């Protein structure tokens, strides 16, 4: 069996014998208003969705995959470029799509059947017809017998089934799914995923195509015919596209499956074979070009300790590590990025390798680990900015609003708050500065002011 390999983007133009194109994004960009102009989220996306395929959008947090999904659904207007549905440019909500969200989004005062009927009612379907169609959808998705139940009577898995039935009952051309299994426990998610794939393979699936947003590499390879990997710097673009030509049902333990997962993982971590010479880091790191990953001190310390205790030569295969810990890619990669930024680890050939400082950090007592962490934290531009500003201010204090104003030129409001939250966590642990939430004020840690300077 020929293994899928990354194909260049944008998606190739279909030949006359290719399945019809339902959705097309051409030169799609999306920006949001910021304090100092437009903040780009997506840049130059070219993507086709064809009949008869499942496409997975995969990427780290902040890569814009959910924004892209909403643009394709017509729920969010594009800034430039176009989204077309069967050749017609979208000017509002896409009439050929239906959405399943991560949260169940059910109306608690309506029964299962009434929730499922909502989309049909919005389309003007008469009461008798929508009742008949809703019952058929409920039966298809395995909810027969629960028609009169209310959402509060259902488990999480059952509630998500209602979400699927509500989306599928309108028989959309394209079913849009935004991390639909991430709020479920592992066994429930696996069961529901399997049942949906059985419907797809059997030809009884009411949609002609599926677009799935996920951060789970195995889920993407398990379900999709095509995996589109988005990058996030400086804004969301398509890094690679993988054609997945594995027969269904797919075996997670098969060597072919594992090789595809490893190939996608390499792209996600930026360590592909063709990228053996990584992009040069910026000449000068700044809070704008070097954002802090959403990585907690405890998470990074725990990961470093695991690599030190269980890894060979103080290194561990990233894919194996995530699998053994039962984590998903979005759980692991921010921690890896954080360890790299702090100079505590490096990624070599898809292995997380502790640096000498990282080895000492992972095996140190609390006080020594703080010292080592502080050395690394001062190499993180935002932590360095906060610390230096406090040292130069007369009273060793500064309001958080000052840093918000600086960051607002480069980040959305949500990204901005994550940057400050991470910087606060890191700076507190390193005893570089403290933070009072009531006054929203940073204060220099006087005891560490001299000894925690950058080295």
- Specify the pLDDT at position 384: 94
Cis peptide before 236 (omega within 30 of 0): no
Both 263 and 322 in one domain: the answer is no
178 pLDDT higher than 50: yes
Domain assignment of residue 34, yes or no: yes
Instruction: Give the three-state DSSP class for 226.
Output: strand
Domain assignment of residue 281, yes or no: no
Both 29 and 174 in one domain: the answer is yes
Query: Tens of pLDDT along 90-115?
Result: 988 999 999 998 877 889 999 999 99
We report the CATH number of the domain holding residue 102 as: 3.40.50.300
Both 40 and 169 in one domain: the answer is yes
Domain assignment of residue 248, yes or no: yes
Residue 377 near residue 295 (C-beta atoms within 8 A): no
Q: Which of 214, 225, 150, 206 is nearest to 183 (CA)?
A: 214
Both 12 and 152 in one domain: the answer is yes
Both 257 and 330 in one domain: the answer is no
Instruction: Give the three-state DSSP class for 209.
Output: strand
Check residues 281 and 49 and name the one with the higher pLDDT.
Answer: 49
Whether pTM > 0.85 for this model: the answer is no
Domain assignment of residue 251, yes or no: yes
Lookup: tokens for 391: 């040292």
Give phi and psi for 447, each to the nearest 5. -65, -25
CA distance 304 to 301: 5
**3 band by pLDDT with thresholds 50, 70 and 90:** very low
b/e for 74-111, b at 16 or more Cβ within 10 A?
bebebbebebbbeeeebeeebebbbbbbbebebeeeeb
What is the average pLDDT value for the chain, to the nearest integer?
Answer: 84
CA distance 241 to 230: 9
131's CB contacts (< 8 A; 6+ apart) are 113, 117
Q: Among 232-236, 268-272, 329-333, name the one with the lowest average pLDDT.
A: 268-272
358 pLDDT higher than 50: yes
149 pLDDT higher than 50: yes
We report the CATH number of the domain holding residue 444 as: 1.10.10
Q: Among 192-206, 292-306, 321-335, name the one with the lowest average pLDDT.
A: 321-335
Q: Which of 373, 407, 375, 371 is nearest to 389 (CA)?
A: 407
**275 band by pLDDT with thresholds 50, 70 and 90:** very low
| DSSP designation for 152 | G
Strands (E), 253-296: none
Query: Tens of pLDDT along 205-225?
Result: 889 999 999 988 889 999 999
Q: Which of 220, 248, 268 is the last residue of a domain?
A: 268
Both 110 and 218 in one domain: the answer is yes
Strands (E), 247-303: none
Query: Tens of pLDDT along 396-446?
Result: 899 999 999 888 877 777 788 889 999 999 999 999 999 999 999 999 975
Both 126 and 11 in one domain: the answer is yes
CA distance 343 to 105: 42
Both 187 and 55 in one domain: the answer is yes
Give phi and psi for 424, each to the nearest 5. -65, -45
Instruction: Give the three-state DSSP class for 30.
Output: strand
Find where tokens 């039935």 sit.
165
Both 20 and 101 in one domain: the answer is yes
- Specify the pLDDT at position 414: 77
Q: Which domain holds residue 252?
A: 6-268
Both 57 and 189 in one domain: the answer is yes
C-alpha to C-alpha distances, 362 to 161, 181, 322, nearest whole angstrom: 44, 34, 18
Domain assignment of residue 403, yes or no: yes
Both 202 and 321 in one domain: the answer is no
Residue 379 near residue 341 (C-beta atoms within 8 A): yes
Domain assignment of residue 194, yes or no: yes
- Specify the pLDDT at position 9: 43
Q: Interior CA angle at 260 toward 259 and 262, to 5°?
A: 65
How many contiguous H segments (helices) and E segments (strands) does the chain have?
Answer: 15, 17
Check residues 347 and 81 and name the one with the higher pLDDT.
Answer: 81
Domain assignment of residue 290, yes or no: no
Cis peptide before 249 (omega within 30 of 0): yes
Instruction: Give the three-state DSSP class for 222.
Output: helix
Both 366 and 417 in one domain: the answer is yes
Domain count, the chain: 2
Q: What percent of the chain has pLDDT over 90?
A: 39
Query: Tens of pLDDT along 6-48?
Result: 444 444 444 556 789 999 999 999 887 654 556 788 888 999 9
**155 band by pLDDT with thresholds 50, 70 and 90:** confident
- Specify the pLDDT at position 407: 85
* Residue 137: HSE in the Cβ half-sphere, 13 Å Cα cutoff: 29
Q: What percent of the chain has pLDDT over 70?
A: 88
Domain assignment of residue 1, yes or no: no
451 pLDDT higher than 80: no
Sheet holding 441-444, edge to edge: 397-399, 441-444, 433-436
- Specify the pLDDT at position 276: 40
Query: Tens of pLDDT along 217-250?
Result: 889 999 999 999 998 766 788 999 999 999 988 9
- Specify the pLDDT at position 176: 93
Q: How many residues does the chain have?
A: 455
CA distance 62 to 412: 10
- Specify the pLDDT at position 281: 54
Lookup: tokens for 292: 């802090």
**310 band by pLDDT with thresholds 50, 70 and 90:** confident
Strands (E), 325-394: 345-348, 351-354
């Amino acid at each position: 069996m020929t293994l899928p390999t990354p194909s260049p983007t944008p998606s190739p133009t279909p030949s006359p014998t290719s399945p019809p194109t339902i959705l097309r994004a051409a030169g799609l960009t999306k920006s949001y208003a910021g304090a100092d102009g437009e903040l780009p989220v997506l840049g130059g996306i070219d993507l086709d969705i064809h009949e008869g395929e499942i496409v997975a959008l995969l990427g780290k947090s902040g890569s814009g995959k959910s924004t892209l999904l909403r643009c394709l659904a017509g729920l969010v207007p594009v800034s430039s470029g176009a989204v077309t549905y069967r050749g017609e440019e979208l000017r509002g909500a896409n009439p050929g799509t239906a959405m399943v969200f991560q949260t169940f989004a059910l109306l608690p005062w309506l029964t299962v059947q009434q929730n499922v009927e909502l989309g049909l009612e919005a389309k003007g379907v008469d009461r008798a017809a929508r009742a008949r169609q809703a019952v058929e959808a409920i039966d298809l998705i395995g909810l027969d017998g629960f028609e009169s139940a209310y959402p509060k009577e259902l488990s999480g898995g059952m509630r998500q089934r209602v979400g699927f039935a509500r989306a599928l009952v309108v028989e959309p051309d394209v079913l849009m799914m935004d991390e639909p299994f991430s709020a479920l426990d592992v066994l429930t998610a696996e069961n529901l995923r399997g049942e949906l794939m059985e419907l797809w393979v059997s030809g009884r699936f009411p949609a002609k195509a599926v677009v799935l947003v996920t951060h789970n590499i195995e889920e993407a390879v398990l379900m999709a015919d095509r995996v589109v990997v988005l990058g996030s710097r400086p804004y969301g673009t398509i890094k690679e596209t993988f054609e997945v030509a594995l027969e269904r049902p797919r075996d997670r333990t098969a060597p072919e499956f594992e090789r595809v997962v490893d190939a996608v993982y390499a792209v996600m971590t930026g360590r592909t074979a063709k990228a053996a010479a990584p992009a040069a880091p910026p000449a000068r790191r700044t809070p704008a070009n070097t954002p802090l990953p959403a990585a907690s001190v405890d998470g990074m310390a725990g990961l470093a300790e695991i690599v030190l205790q269980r890894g060979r030569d103080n290194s561990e295969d990233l894919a194996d590590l995530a699998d053994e810990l039962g984590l998903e890619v979005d759980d692991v990669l921010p921690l890896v990025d954080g360890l790299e930024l702090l100079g505590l680890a490096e990624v070599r050939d898809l292995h997380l390798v502790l640096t000498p400082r990282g080895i000492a950090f992972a095996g140190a007592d609390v006080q020594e680990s703080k010292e080592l962490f502080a050395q690394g934290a001062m190499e993180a531009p935002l932590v360095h900015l906060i610390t230096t500003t406090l040292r130069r201010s007369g009273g060793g204090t500064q309001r958080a609003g000052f840093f918000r104003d600086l960051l607002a030129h480069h980040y959305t409001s949500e990204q901005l708050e994550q940057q400050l939250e991470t910087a606060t966590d890191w700076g507190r642990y390193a005893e570089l500065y403290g933070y009072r939430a009531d006054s929203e004020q940073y204060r220099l840690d006087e005891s560490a002011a001299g000894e925690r300077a950058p080295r």
